[in-house]
């Protein structure tokens, strides 16, 4: 596993935000189910989205790359893949492929991935598919990948699903459920986490002609039978990545401006703008031109933050806490234990190496920063969001090391290059 050495840095300049990973996943899968030619404009090409492209191709979908577009020749009848579908490290790909595999006309689909993927829970989705008449199961009988799905037809009916682990289960059912034999009425049991990602799913589905009704609390859905139609869809800049870049500007910057942002499409991680304001950071927002500028701040205010709907902001808020004059409490994050890694546990243990006091209870973390951060050797456990966050934290030390540089290919391949461009001292 590769590592980088980071030295104290002063950032200044402009960075173009990479395209959204979550929107790229959704646009690819949905356009693949729309019979005809669609154009996905400005997609993110990364390890995770390549896994989605390869999965769609395995179902017989033709996808061409032309300039900054992906041209998708969708089908409403999917073929049985010739081989096992390997989703690599992409949880979104695994959950969506599992649901979509139920649309294959006869035959079986086998889905697996890397070590991290084979540890991630699938039980809520498998139980929901069973209610819809789909036979799916774990080869190891532990409700985790490898997963086998028997193709056939989805029987529309009233079903229930657990929403407390991942919103990807619900999004998968929504995307595939459009092609059920009859309408589906989906109810969510327990707390629904990451609701903003479901909103993004419904937004993309509507752009391709689908019709979904849902309750304000995102716990009840009515999925209509209405085939997808081809469309052109432009992927917005990724506010998950923008959150990291803005935190770098606040923590180690003079002035850092992030461009290529679209405020019109729903993205839960837009919440970072409100969080930065609450912390007392100085930011300037220009919605017309799609930019946000973060100004370096010497000291931030401690606050309490509920991230139940925006789990990807946990690493960002955690490192922002390092400049807080007061303790920071982050809660509603128990489901971050089921991401690429147990993010809650790793953030707590790695920040301690910097001299930070952390306390973890089942659904929250409390962070008390020291007056001065220690140099440290930090291990991201090959988790892309943790790696990028730890690199930014390292810019506030004299010299620190972060393991796991290869992981940035998952969501932000040009991260190191972009950071160096604005003054980051990374070797």
CA distance 126 to 110: 14
Q: What count of Cα atoms within 13 Å lies in the side-chain half-sphere of residue 423?
A: 16
Q: Which residues belong to the active site?
A: 312
Burial of 157 (0-12, 13-18, 19+ CB in 10 A): middle
Give yes or no on whether 3-18+237-426 and 21-232 have one common fold: yes
Residue % of the chain over a pLDDT of 90: 91
* Residue-wise pLDDT tens digits, 62-79: 999 999 999 999 998 899
SS3 384: helix
pLDDT of residue 41: 98
pLDDT of residue 136: 96
Domain ranges of the chain: 3-18+237-426, 21-232
* Residue-wise pLDDT tens digits, 292-349: 999 999 999 989 999 998 999 999 999 999 999 999 999 999 888 877 789 999 999 9
* Residue-wise pLDDT tens digits, 179-238: 999 999 999 998 888 899 999 999 999 999 999 999 999 999 999 998 999 999 999 999
Give the distance between the most distant pair of CA atoms in the chain. 63
Has domain 21-232 been given CATH number 3.65.10.10?
yes
* Residue-wise pLDDT tens digits, 129-176: 999 999 999 999 999 999 999 998 899 889 999 998 899 999 999 999
Architecture of the domain spanning 3-18+237-426: Alpha-beta prism (3.65)
Q: CB count, 10 Å around CB of 346?
A: 22
pLDDT of residue 193: 87
pTM equals 0.93
311 CB contacts (<8 Å, ≥6 apart)?
193, 194, 333, 335, 336, 339, 343
Residue whose structure tokens are 């990602």: 197
Residue whose structure tokens are 């243990």: 349
**308 neighbors 139 (Cβ within 8 angstroms):** no
CA distance 89 to 53: 14
**345 neighbors 311 (Cβ within 8 angstroms):** no
Residue 243, pLDDT above cutoff 80: yes
pLDDT of residue 348: 95
Which one, of 145, 99, 103, 100, lies nearest residue 121 by Cα? 145
Average pLDDT, the chain: 95
Q: What is the mean pLDDT of residues 261-280?
A: 94
């Amino acid at each position: 596993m590769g590592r980088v050495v980071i030295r104290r840095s002063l950032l200044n300049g402009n960075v173009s935000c990479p395209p959204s990973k979550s929107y790229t996943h959704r646009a690819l899968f949905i356009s693949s189910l729309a019979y005809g030619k669609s154009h996905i404009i400005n997609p993110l090409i990364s390890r995770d989205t390549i896994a989605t492209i390869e999965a769609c191709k395995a179902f017989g979908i033709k996808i061409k790359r032309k300039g900054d577009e992906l041209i998708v020749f969708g089908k409403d009848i999917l073929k049985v893949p010739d081989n096992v579908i390997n989703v690599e490290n992409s949880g979104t790909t695994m959950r969506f492929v599992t649901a979509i595999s139920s649309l294959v006309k006869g035959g079986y689909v086998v889905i697996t991935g890397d070590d991290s993927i084979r540890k991630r829970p699938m039980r809520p989705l498998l139980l929901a598919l069973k209610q819809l008449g789909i036979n799916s199961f774990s080869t190891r009988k532990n409700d985790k990948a490898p997963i086998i799905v028997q193709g056939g037809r989805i029987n529309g009916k009233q079903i229930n699903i657990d929403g407390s682990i991942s919103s990807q289960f619900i999004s998968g059912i929504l995307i595939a459920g459009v092609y059920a034999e009859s309408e589906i009425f989906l109810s969510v049991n327990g707390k629904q986490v990451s609701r903003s990602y479901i909103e993004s799913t419904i937004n993309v589905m509507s752009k391709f002609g689908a019709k979904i009704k849902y309750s304000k609390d995102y716990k009840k859905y009515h999925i209509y039978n209405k085939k997808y139609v081809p469309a052109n869809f432009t992927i917005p800049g990724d506010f998950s990545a923008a959150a990291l870049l803005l935190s770098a500007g606040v923590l180690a910057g003079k002035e850092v401006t992030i461009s290529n942002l679209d405020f019109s499409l729903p993205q839960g991680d837009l919440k970072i703008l409100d969080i930065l304001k609450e912390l007392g950071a100085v930011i300037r927002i220009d919605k017309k031109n799609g930019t946000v500028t973060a100004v370096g701040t010497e000291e931030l205010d401690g606050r309490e933050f509920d991230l139940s709907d925006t789990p990807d902001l946990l690493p960002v808020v955690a490192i922002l806490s390092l400049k807080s004059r007061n303790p920071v409490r982050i809660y509603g994050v128990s489901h971050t234990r089921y991401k690429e890694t147990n993010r809650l546990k790793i953030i707590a243990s790695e920040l301690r190496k910097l001299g930070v006091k952390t306390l973890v209870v089942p659904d929250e973390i409390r962070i008390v920063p020291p007056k001065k951060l220690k140099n440290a050797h930090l291990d991201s456990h090959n988790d892309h969001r943790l790696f990028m966050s730890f690199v930014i934290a390292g810019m506030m030390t004299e010299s620190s090391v972060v393991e796991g540089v290869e992981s940035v290919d998952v969501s932000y391949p040009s991260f190191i290059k972009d950071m160096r461009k604005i003054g980051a001292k990374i070797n």
